[in-house]
Amino acid sequence: MGKVAIIGVGQSSFVRGYPGTIKELAFEGFREALQDAQITTKDIEASIICSAPEYDKQRSPAGVIAEYLGLIPQPTFYLESLCSSSSMGLKVAYSMVKAGLHDSVAVIGFQKMSEISSAESQERMGRGADIQWESPFGTMMPAYYAMYARNHMATYGTTPEDLALIRVKSGTYGQLNEKAVYRKSVTLDMFSDPESTMSSPVASPLRVGDCCANADGSSCVIVVNEEKAKALCKKPVWILGVGAASTAVNMVGRDLFNGLTVAQQAGEQAYKMAGVTPKDIDVAEVHDCFTIAEMMAYENLGFAKPGEGKELIRAKETYKDGSIPVNVDGGLLSKGHPIGATGGSQIRTIVLQLRGEAGEIQVKDPEIGLVHNIGGVGLYGNVSILGR
Amino acid sequence: MGKRKIDVRFSKFGTVSFTSTTKVNDFIDYLEQGKVMGTKCKKCGALFFPPRADCYKCLESDMGWFEVSGTGKLVTYSKLEYCPVGFEDDLPYVIALLDYGDYKVFGRLADDLPEEDVSVGMELKTVSNNLPNGQLSYVFQKP
């Protein structure tokens, strides 16, 4: 069987309070991907629509969005794995194309987090854990990642300043990304300045500056078989590896508290499938919903040994000109995190990098890129490896 | 025909309970008696906390109860300055995880045990408590 390629990528701007419907939002990323691939809706044989349903008023969004995008009567369905939904979409699209079921599949991620009121959003936040045994204690997403940060600090001597350095890097590149929701630079001083929002505690040891912002946004990735890729595209980007794993939602079902097992496992699968090692990765997008999440990603993906992620960021090795550039588009911390659209946005960045079309943030001549996308607090993990 | 009575004891668990019926509703009765209990598979002996009605290891549903006793090691913790809807009166509070070896317990530090007085690795015990809103829960305390 032949190879599977990505021939088009697109994303909307990530914004607060998108002034339109979820259909109109999805259209923005979709149109850009079709224009990028220079194809029409007739060239797409199936669509996978990815989001986290708790933010939608529309029941069963897949059919409604597919109709708006002109993708009927082709088959469409909905796919959800929280924040990694569109990376899971890539894996499923890869499987469908590889199996010969369809020549081309569009993976469309979207999230309009402002679709519901902030009170409704706060209520849903409390149900992001095991609702039977954890939510009754008043848990929320930042507090779980904070617990990982606490254990990482206690085990390895990582400091709050090390985490802040990751946010400083994010700001460096976020200000260059015209599609990012947060486009300002961030300095280390802000984290020690009580007047700055960045220093305000959220869930110890994490502060506002350690957390990404909610946003509305959409993304789209066009996946095709080898024959179609060669016929339609001058610079196809090949899908070399797609790993995925899951674990216990409840913290009591886990054994590792300074790293995410799903990232390790999905990474190992993807490296093996692609026949590469961490040293072969030239540019990476990792799921930095919180600064600690990027720190753990360095270690879980093998860019650094366990506990040595802090050395990478201290030495600026994950900057654009470092040994392993990570999140040089500003990451989730600057771009914002529209749950279902996030993975597609990460994939888009890596595809542009591999084509040499990333503009100001272009890394020097990358051949192999990696996307690490996590759902929930390491409940789902996806790692995808792409090559030119 | 009378309506079948639904056992909603679990709605008593925690500041806000998000589910009211479970096959391990006896957990609530034990909490009322001051005991924090997990389940043990009668066939393979596996211990489960929080309690489960079904053993995925041997597919049995014949479970007994055991009491969470002694101390567990504090794995990690975090003090929350923001909260989901319904927990406003509790702020700030500290969620935490204890490792008992055979199982782990997720919960909160007792209100009179501030974050500054704990550190990763220290031994704490789990005790049942009554919440101001009439609900039942458990907290971690110094032994």
DSSP symbols for A338-370: -HHHHHHHHHHHHHHHHHT--GGG--SS--EEE
Q: Are A12 and A218 in contact (CB under 8 A)?
A: yes
Cβ–Cβ gap B78/A203 under 8 Å: yes
Q: Are A362 and A102 in contact (CB under 8 A)?
A: no
Q: Are residues B77 and B59 in the same domain?
A: no
Q: What is the pLDDT of residue A358?
A: 98
Consecutive H or E run containing A170? helix A160-174
Is residue B86 domain-resident? yes
pTM over 0.90? The answer is: yes
**Main-chain dihedrals φ then ψ at residue B28, nearest 5 degrees:** -70, -40
Q: What is the pLDDT of residue A122?
A: 75
Q: Are residues B63 and B79 in the same domain?
A: no
**Does residue A369 carry a pLDDT above 90?**
yes
- For an interface test with B, which of A137, A251, A254, A255 has the most B Cβ atoms less than 10 Å from its Cβ? A137
A136 and B CB contact within 8 Å: yes
A50 and B CB contact within 8 Å: no
Is residue B3 domain-resident? no
Q: Are residues B100 and B137 in the same domain?
A: yes
Q: What is the pLDDT of residue A139?
A: 94
Q: Are A31 and A48 in contact (CB under 8 A)?
A: no
- For an interface test with A, which of B82, B90, B100, B138 has the most A Cβ atoms less than 10 Å from its Cβ? B82
Q: Are B126 and B97 in contact (CB under 8 A)?
A: no
Domain count, chain B: 2
Q: Are residues B137 and B77 in the same domain?
A: yes
Q: Are residues B137 and B76 in the same domain?
A: yes
Give the max Cα distance, chain B: 59
**Does residue A354 carry a pLDDT above 70?**
yes
Of residues A82, A16, A27, A10, the one with CA closest to residue A287: A82
State which residues of chain B have pLDDT below 70: 1-2
Is residue B61 domain-resident? yes
If 0-12 CB within 10 Å is exposed, 13-18 middle and 19+ buried, where does residue B13 land?
buried
Domain extents for chain A? 4-118+214-232
Q: What is the pLDDT of residue A1?
A: 66
Q: What is the DSSP letter of A280?
A: G
- Starting at the earlier edge strand, list the strands of the sheet with B63-67: B47-48, B37-41, B63-67
Section A305-309 average pLDDT: 98
**Does residue A134 carry a pLDDT above 70?**
yes
Of residues A201, A130, A174, A104, the one with CA closest to residue B79: A201
Q: What is the pLDDT of residue A116?
A: 86
Q: What is the pLDDT of residues B100-132, one digit of tens each?
A: 999 999 999 999 999 999 999 999 999 999 999
- How close does chain A come to B49, measured CA to CA in Å? 8
Which of B48, B67, B86 is the last residue in one of the domains?
Answer: B67
- In this structure, is the dihedral angle defined by the CA atoms of residues A25, A30, A31 and A36, taken in order, positive or negative? positive
Q: Are A219 and A10 in contact (CB under 8 A)?
A: yes
Mean per-residue pLDDT over chain A, rounded? 96
Which of B24, B42, B67 is the last residue in one of the domains?
Answer: B67
Active site residues per annotation of A: 83, 337
Q: What is the pLDDT of residues A314-342, one digit of tens each?
A: 999 999 999 999 999 999 999 999 999 99
Q: What is the pLDDT of residue A121?
A: 79
Is residue B97 domain-resident? yes
Q: Are residues B84 and B134 in the same domain?
A: yes
Q: Which residues of B touch A205 (CB under 8 A)?
A: 78
Domain of residue B79, residue span:
72-141
CATH class of segment(s) A4-118+214-232: alpha beta
Which of B67, B99, B116 is the last residue in one of the domains?
Answer: B67
Residues of chain A numbered 105-124 and touching chain B (CB < 8 Å): 119, 122-123
**Does residue A83 carry a pLDDT above 60?**
yes
Q: Complex ipTM, two decimals?
A: 0.96
**Does residue A250 carry a pLDDT above 60?**
yes
Tokens of A214: 């909610």
